[in-house]
Amino acid sequence: MKFSGRTTVAKFKAMFKDEFKVAVRVYNGKHFAEDSATLASIRTGDVKSGEVEIHGNMKVGNAEKLLKDNFGITIQVENKEGALADNNVTISSLR
C-alpha cells in the first residue's frame, strides 16, 4: 500500500481497510486525527518522507514503527474484532 503526505486520514483508513481487511486508528498527538486532515498536517517532528509502503507480510509493530519513524504519524492497527492488534503478528494474519 502506497500513500503520501497529501493523502487524507479518511483516504488512508479506507485504503488500509481495503488492502488488509482490518481497520487502523490514526492519531494527531494523543487524540484521533480528523478524517479531513492530510497525513502531512498531522506529522510530528521534522519528517519529510515523500512516500512510505506497507505490506501485509510486515509485523504490526514494524509497520507502526515505520510510519512513526519515517513518516511522523502514529497509527494503531486493529484486529478483526476491532481491538488493538498484537504487535508481533503480520498484518495479513489479522484478516
Q: How many CB atoms lie within 10 A of CB 77?
A: 24
Higher pLDDT, 70 or 16: 16
* Cα angle 46, 7, 36; round to 5: 100
Residue with cell 504490526: 60
Domain spans of the chain, in order of start:
2-94
> What are the residues whose beta carbons fall under 8 Å from the beta carbon of 6, sequence distance 6 or more?
38, 39, 40
- β-strand 31-32 against 74-77: which pairing, if any? unpaired
pLDDT at residue 49 in the model: 63
Flag whether the pTM goes above 0.85: yes
Give 34-93 pLDDT, tens digit per residue: 999 999 999 987 776 667 889 999 999 999 999 998 889 999 999 999 999 999 999 999
pLDDT at residue 53 in the model: 87
pLDDT at residue 46 in the model: 75
Fold entry, domain 2-94: Ubiquitin-like (UB roll) (3.10.20)
